[in-house]
Structure 1
Amino acid sequence: MNNRLLNWISFRYFRSKKQTGLISFTSYISIFGIALGCFALLISLSILNGFESEISARVIDLESHLRITGSAITDDTLDKIAAALKNDNPDIIYPFVMKKSILSNLGSEAVIRLKGIDSTIFQTKIMSPAAIMRGANHFNPVTAELPGIVVGYRLADKLGMFLGDTINVINPLDIKSSYSIPYVGRFVLSGVFRLDLFDYDENLAFIEIGAARRIYKMGDQYSGIDIRFDSYKKVNVIKQRLTMELADNYIISSWEDLHRDLFGAMKLEKYGSFLALSFIILIAIFNLTSSLVMLVMEKIREIGMLQTLGMNSAHIKGIFLRLGFITGSIGLLVGLLLATLLCLIQQHYKLIPLPSVYFIPYLPVELHLLDIAAILTAGLLLIFLGTLYPSQRVGKLTPLEAIQYEK
Structure 2
Amino acid sequence: MNLPFYIARRYLFSKKSHNAINIISMVCVCGVVVATIAVVCALSVYNGFNDLVAGMFSSFDPELKISPRTGKVFDPTTAEFQKVKQLPDIAWFGEVLQDNALVRYHDRQDIAVIKGVDENFSHLTLIDSILIDGSFILKDEVADYATLGVGLSAKLGAKPGFASPLEIYVPKRDEKVNLSNPASSFNQEYAYIGGVFLINQQVYDEGYMILPISLVRQLLKYDKEVSSIELKLADGVDISSAKKQIKVLLGDRFIVQDRYEQQEASFKMMQVEKWMTFLILSFILAIALFNVVGSLSMLMIEKKDDVRTLQNMGADDKLVRRIFLFEGWMISGFGAVIGIVIGLVLCLLQQHFGFIKLGQTAGAFVIDAYPVRVVFTDLLVAFITVAAIGLMAAWYPIHYLGKKWFS
**Partner amino acid for 2:91?**
D
Q: Distance in 1 between matches of 2:253 and 2:13?
A: 71
In the alignment, is the contact (CA less than 8 A) between 2:95 and 2:228 conserved in 1?
yes
- Per-residue Cα deviation, 1:282-314 (whole angstroms, up to 9, x for no partner): 011111221111211222222222222222111
- The aligned residue for residue 377 of structure 1 is 384
**Partner amino acid for 1:295?**
L
Q: Which moved more, 1:175-184 or 1:197-206?
A: 175-184
Change (3 A) 1:342 1:128: farther
Change (3 A) 1:41 1:18: same
Matches within 5 A, 1:254-265: 254-265=258-269
**Partner amino acid for 2:322?**
G
Q: How far is 1:386 from its partner?
A: 0.9
- The aligned residue for residue 283 of structure 1 is 287
**Partner amino acid for 1:227?**
L
**Partner amino acid for 1:377?**
I
Q: How far is 1:363 from its partner?
A: 2.4
Q: How far is 1:67 from its partner?
A: 1.7
Equivalent residue for 1:252, pick from 256, 276, 297: 256
- The aligned residue for residue 122 of structure 1 is 121
- The aligned residue for residue 340 of structure 2 is 336
Matches within 5 A, 1:63-212: 63-70=61-68, 71-76=73-78, 78-83=81-86, 85-86=87-88, 89-119=89-119, 121-139=120-138, 146-165=143-162, 166-173=165-172, 176-178=177-179, 179-180=181-182, 181=184, 182-212=186-216
Q: Distance in 1 between matches of 2:255 and 2:302?
A: 70
**Structure-2-length-normalised TM-score:** 0.87
Identity %: 23
In the alignment, is the contact (CA less than 8 A) between 1:100 and 1:112 conserved in 2?
yes
Matches within 5 A, 1:204-283: 204-229=208-233, 234-246=238-250, 248-283=252-287
Change (3 A) 1:385 1:189: same
**Partner amino acid for 1:42?**
V
Change (3 A) 1:198 1:67: same
In the alignment, is the contact (CA less than 8 A) between 1:152 and 1:192 conserved in 2?
yes
**Partner amino acid for 1:275?**
L
Q: How far is 1:315 from its partner?
A: 1.1
Q: Distance in 2 between matches of 1:198 and 1:232?
A: 32
In the alignment, is the contact (CA less than 8 A) between 2:136 and 2:195 conserved in 1?
yes
- The aligned residue for residue 357 of structure 1 is 364
Q: How far is 1:32 from its partner?
A: 1.3
Matches within 5 A, 1:305-324: 305-324=309-328
- Per-residue Cα deviation, 1:163-195 (whole angstroms, up to 9, x for no partner): 334321111345833324222221222211111
Secondary structure at 1:72's aligned position in 2?
A: coil
* 2:395 equivalent to 1:388: yes
Q: Distance in 2 between matches of 1:377 and 1:7?
A: 20
Give the CA RMSD over aligned residues.
Answer: 2.6
Q: Which moved more, 1:245-254 or 1:55-64?
A: 245-254
Q: Distance in 1 between matches of 2:289 and 2:249?
A: 55
**Structure-1-length-normalised TM-score:** 0.87
- The aligned residue for residue 405 of structure 1 is none
- Per-residue Cα deviation, 1:139-179 (whole angstroms, up to 9, x for no partner): 469xx953221111122222322333432111134583332
Q: How far is 1:359 from its partner?
A: 2.3
Q: How far is 1:20 from its partner?
A: 3.1
**Partner amino acid for 2:83?**
K
Q: How far is 1:267 from its partner?
A: 1.4
Q: Aligned pairs, how many?
A: 392
Q: How far is 1:341 from its partner?
A: 1.8
**Partner amino acid for 2:137?**
H
In the alignment, is the contact (CA less than 8 A) between 2:304 and 2:405 conserved in 1?
no
Structure 2 residues without counterparts, runs of 5 or longer: none
Q: Distance in 2 between matches of 1:233 and 1:324?
A: 48
**Partner amino acid for 2:156?**
L
Secondary structure at 1:222's aligned position in 2?
A: coil
**Partner amino acid for 2:85?**
A
Structure 1 residues without counterparts, runs of 5 or longer: 402-407
Q: How far is 1:93 from its partner?
A: 1.6
Q: Distance in 2 between matches of 1:123 and 1:253?
A: 20
Q: Distance in 1 between matches of 2:249 and 2:144?
A: 39
Q: Distance in 1 between matches of 2:237 and 2:18?
A: 57
Secondary structure at 1:396's aligned position in 2?
A: helix
Q: How far is 1:343 from its partner?
A: 2.1
In the alignment, is the contact (CA less than 8 A) between 2:59 and 2:130 conserved in 1?
no
